[in-house]
Chains A and B, each alone.
Chain A
Amino acid sequence: MSDSRLCPLVRKELNAYFDSPAAYIISVVFLLITGYFFAQPLFLRNQADIGSFTDLAPLLLTFFVPAITMRHFSEEYKSGTIEILMTLPVRDRDILLSKFLASGALLAATLAFTAVYPVSVALLGKADLGAVAGAYAGLWLSGMLLVSAGLFGSTLSRNQVVAFIIAFLIGFSLFLLGKVGAFVPVWLTPYTEFLGLDAHLANLSRGVVDTRDLMYYATGSAFSCSCPRFGCG
């Protein structure tokens, strides 16, 4: 399909986000929580870095991303509009891609508002711009991995709450896998570290761009996106 047909699909999804209060509410809650945890060490301990934000953000993303993806297919099933969408001359993968890209855009917009944190740090002290850029890239890529899991969850049920819970369980499992290294047999540690979000995000937050990390995000997103079967078949 030409891009000219993907554009209207993406635009529809973006309009659905920005015309509804839900996306604003979810984004504002995300910004309030991250803002609180960023400002606390800044004012209480005079410590100017974005570590407190980047440490907390992955856990918050496991809630935030399912909240923005849960409606995608569940709502189409519930309202019956999936029948309209799937009888248009577009491929299934383009429908999926449009929802993936729109969620990615909302995630990027929300993360863009948090840029005020590194800007504050740069004004108050010295910020490592490479590490900051790496951390944001890592957060966005982690978010996109969770978006693909969220879309997968959304294809499984016409109930948005069920879709949210499925996506959250997948995302939280990935989050936990990065934390359990100390509690599993030594031979298992490299696997849990590789599958978890933490290690990859830590590398990027240090400004290290490793192709293994990029492959992790790319293959994870592609795998989740290849699972959905959202038609009635």
Chain B
Amino acid sequence: MIRAENLVRKYGDTVAVDGISFDISPREAVGVLGPNGAGKTTTLRVLAGFLHPTSGRVGIGELDVLENPLECRRQIGYLPENNPLYEDMEVSEYLEWVARTRGLSSEACRSAIQNTVGRCGLAAVVGKSIGELSKGYRQRVGLAAAIIHDPPILLLDEPTSGLDPNQALEVRGLIAELKREKTVLLSSHILSEVRASCDRVIIIHRGKIAAQGRPEELAASASRGDRLNLVVRRGAGDLEEVRRALAGLPGVASLSMEAQDGEARFVIMGNPSAEDMRPMIYELAVAKKWPVLELYREAASLEEIFRSLTA
């Protein structure tokens, strides 16, 4: 549905996007993650047809963005970074203008506005000037303009940037609804947003793809061995003895202990090559009759993966 092959975009001597390639399937929601200046916005601008690639190919469906710019733009709904809007226009006037410029007939335009206003929760402000709206409503107007022609593809550049937590939650809810029927590519540096909204993540750093895959795949590939947490009740025995027994297990790379209140927490780091150590720990605890309160494995979080790839 969306395809980038060796995409390069330079601004003078500065390389903003440096040979990235990816494929996005229909109805897939993909998040582009990266620190500021990584090349996320440039990538989306090239896909939207606002910027030309310096080299490489970008395709929407079977069409090349450079060869069929108008047809590609018809299939895309685009929310640019910072959501620029015509401040002097009223909400309804703006949506009508976007719909008419996108080729909707006056009848289709009326029904599209009605539908979009309802979907984006704009009924209360539809007659107001855009310049008078709060940031949350402005973001909804931008989203409404992006979906008014019912495009199969949505490109959203930092859709919740600058919103308060409640507004961000509302916009995320709308995106979650939209991704059921559309291909969504959104850029963000808010990891929780990407985790909540996307099936797949592409991490860009310094114009290159640092990693891509489903969040759990990235977690698995980024993991440097098991990180297990064992919590036992204190007073059930000598903690030093517990520590020695755990340290003696095969595959344990390091071990730390923290005792507080009525319990002691052991964090066990396994060797990258070691097998799952949970059954061994369970059997040991049963044999030694340790009162186990918790035993769980921590996966590498998206935050950790992001930091390890982009720091």
Query: Which A residues have a C-beta under 8 Å from some C-beta of B?
Result: 1-2, 4-5, 7-9, 11-12, 15-16, 19-20, 79-81, 83-84, 86-91, 231-233
Contacts and interface: CB of A to CB of B under 8 A. Distances in A.
B49 interface: yes
Residue picked from A16, A19, A88, most chain B C-beta under 10 Å: A88
Given A15-B93, A83-B84, A90-B101, 15 more contacts: A4-B100, A5-B100, A5-B101, A12-B89, A16-B88, A83-B50, A84-B80, A87-B48, A87-B73, A87-B78, A88-B101, A88-B102, A89-B70, A89-B73, A232-B51
Contacts of B89: 12, 15
A90 B97 CA distance: 13
B37 interface: no
Contact of A87 (B50, B85, B93, B103): B50
Contacts of A80: 80, 82, 84
B309 to A, nearest CB: 28
Contacts, number: 71
Interface residues of B, number: 28
B52 interface: yes
Contact of A81 (B70, B84, B93): B84
B88 A19 contact: yes
Nearest to A83: B80
Interface string B120-161: 000000000000000000000000010000000000000000
A89 B48 contact: no
A4 B103 contact: yes
15 contacts: A5-B101, A11-B97, A80-B84, A81-B85, A81-B86, A84-B145, A87-B49, A87-B50, A87-B73, A87-B76, A87-B80, A88-B102, A89-B70, A89-B103, A233-B52
B297 interface: no
B98 interface: yes
Contacts of A88: 73, 98, 101-102
A9 B96 CA distance: 11
B172 interface: no
Contact of B103 (A5, A11, A12, A20): A5
B272 to A, nearest CB: 45
Interface string B33-60: 0000000000001001111100000000
